[in-house]
Each structure stands twice: as structure tokens, then as C-alpha cells.
Structure 1
């Protein structure tokens, strides 16, 4: 039995509905396999182009000002002017809404593929989160490594590195799946171009932002960069943030962290983000500080 991506299935159903509304004969309608778009069309960049194209079509039949409505829609990814049928939303809009909601839920409970972590040689550890349900209810347990993980990184990872890179699924496994292949190599290239050396890259499963403090306590790098999945929403379930801190230790104030957020193909481009993170890290090393005291 074939499996279909939830976004792919939703797009195919909407296409079938639109054909039916246009009165195209049944025999002329494509089957699901015929309507299935290639894998290339479903990469994040192409999906964004498709989404922007769909948003350019105004559903409101007689807006008071077409120009003003279009300007408002162009200014935000929020669902504006989706229109209705009677008192309910249009079927295609409701399907997209439910699809986006399902994607947000799926990514919280999702897993980052081991093949991806192995490809970038990320040393894998975990926090005390235990499981996803506990992770959501007890944020504090996602801030501390297990005793075994702390021992393993001390034994196998470089201590006192100039720059320590940590990747975590956080609240969005999709963020790592969709962005790591772009942001991580760009970050490494940026550090190399600036003459900065990175330590052993780490992937921490079930991590919260403050888990970087525990890692910093054990490995004591000059700067730690954490690439972590953000809380998913109905606009994007694959948004990543980069939290950076100069000499992080347990008890570090949130104001001492510097963050670059909304890293995804519909926000800050991952490649651009990777390059920019490198320049921020350089400033941290020069100024020996981070957070609100850092002058960027």
C-alpha cells in the first residue's frame, strides 16, 4: 500500500474538488496516482512558491478594495480573505487549515531520521525528557542531560572548543529535517571563512533551549550555538531558531542569549541564516559577551 505525504494528499483532494466544480467529466479526471506531483515539487522551496501562487488568487468575490485586500494579504502569511460558503469556510480552505494543524501536531511527535544525523556526523545524546508527553508537561526535564549523556560527551567530544554546535529537535522535528541540510553547511563554511574552529557537533534529543547551559557546563566552549526546532504553528511547522551564548553555564539568564529565529524557507533563508550566525559568533568572541550586551 502506497503512503502519501499529508500535504500531498490534501493538494490532490483539493485538485479533484476543483475539477468537479468545473464540470470536468469523471473519465477525464486524473486518478490519485496521475494527479500525484513529483517529489521535487514537494520540497520546501517549491511548496512555498506554490503556496504564494495560491495566495495571489483572491477568494472574496466583490471586495470593497481589491488593491487594499491584496496588499494586506501580501503583508502577512495569516489567513486573510479566505471567504466562505454561506456561514462556513470554503472546503479547500478548511482542508488546508486542518492539514496545517495536523502537520503542527505531527512535528511535535515526530522523529529526526537517524540517516540525517549520521550524514552530518552529529554525536547523539538526550536529555531527561523520557518521552514526548513528559517533555510537554515538564520543560525542566528537557533542560538537563541524562547522567550517561553528560559522561559520554565529556569522553567523546572536544572540550574547550572555540565554537560548539548543538542541534536539537525541540518542538519541531520538521525544522531539523527541512533546514539542517542548508543551515549547517553554511554555518561551517562561515566559521571556516572567519578562521573559527568548531568542536564535535552534537544532536540532543528532547532538548529545551537551556540544555545548552548544561552542555556548556560540561564542555566549556567559548561560544555555543544551538539550532533547535521552534514551536510549530499554522503557518509553518518547520521553523528553526539559532540560540547563541558566550560561555554558557547552568543558571544563565535568558537575557544573555542571542537568538536568530524563523529560519525556514518562508522566513529567514536557511543558507543566509547559517552565514549570518557565523558573523554573530565572531562578534561574541571579539566582545566576550552575548545577549543584550552584545553590539551587533
Structure 2
């Protein structure tokens, strides 16, 4: 039996999978979502979201897609790993992603086909086409150059392609190396870690989403403080640690996560890291 069923929960509350159902909108994440929605609906073109590993960029992206589904005419595509060997491989991938059919022999042919597609969908049919790229720091300069070209496709009033690039902090200097790319950024936003209050709210939110009784204490205040001090407010670290804590809770036949249990699990993980 899964540990969450032992705790009378309906779902795994601390999975590290980017499930929008468990997305806790901290102040930073909520502002990012809101500003992205505005930029996309106003067809501003390029938005860049930056943040360290484990800050919640992928979950944010999936939550954004969910929000955009309620927008009439919105069509959203996502690339999780933008690692391509060449510009040609990238442009052929984009054409397939957009559902463009035909025989094209060169990168230029593909670019022209994508331009025609965007004009048809966005101008003639009134759609909003968005492309969200995760792990943007992995992109080659040739791939970024291709995106710069796609951002040139526009009417007098708006950009045809709404591009959101999410990446780690090293993405920004890479963008700045490309002529006329960084000045095309209409929205640049840096995601911040959670504070202690938001860490508590995230833990309690995920437990409620998993079916926990809102009046039942699962983590003591001191335990939550210990979790925060260990994770420094990074959502992925918080969920991974809390998952281990609930497993340990069951194995020790306890009902509440207290500070001593948090310290014990942290020390156990530290020893595993040292051994490996």
C-alpha cells in the first residue's frame, strides 16, 4: 500500500512531477503567471522567465498552458528539451509541432512555411499561437538565431508568435550575445525561492490537494522551519524532503512530522551523499 493511503490521502502529495494540480502559486510564481498571460494576450512576442534549478519553472509552464486553454483561440505548444544538433533539425521540429505539412528542402523553405502558417492562423483565423520552451539555457546559438528570425514575423500591431523561454540564470548572458535579441524581450522575470510563510503554505496546500483534513496537523511549526532552513525555499527540494518525511513517518509509526524527524532524515540524506 502506498504511504499516502496509509495517511488517508487520495493522492501522492509530494511528487516532484510538474503537475499543475499541485502548483502552489507563491507571490513570485503568481506574478509570473499573470504577467505572462498579459504579454501573450497582448501579443507582445518574447517573454523570458529565469530561475535556479528546482524553482518551479516547468510546473509554472504547465500551469500557464492550463490557464491559456480558457482563452478563445489560444493554441499553445511546449518544448521540454530544446537541444538540437543544427538549425535545420530545430526548424523541422517546429514545423512538425505546428502541424505544417509539405516537402521542404532547406531551412529557408521551412522558415517561409512557418511564416505563412503563422499569418494564416494568427491574422486570418484570429488565433494566438504560443511556443513555450523549457530548459532554455540548453539552446544553441543557432537555435536562438532561428527564434530571433521567427520574432520578426509580425503585423503593424503585434507579433505573430508568442514565445516564452524558461531557463536557468545562465540563459540571460547567452541571449545578450545575440545581436538584437535581448532588446526584443517584452517581459523578463526572475522567479524567487519561497519564504518561510510560503513554504508552510505550500506544504499545507499540497496536503489539502491530496485529501488531507484541513484541520489536522501533519507538520509542526518547528518541523516546517527545519524544512525551510534545509531547502531554502526551493519547491523541488521542499517536495522531495517532505516525501521522504512522510515515508519515514509511516515506517516509524508516527502521526505528526516533528523537528527531530526532519533533522534525522536530513542527516540520513547527507550521509548518503557523502558515501556516494
The reply to whether TM is greater than 0.5 is no
Q: TM-score, length-normalised on structure 1? A: 0.31
Q: TM-score, length-normalised on structure 2? A: 0.33
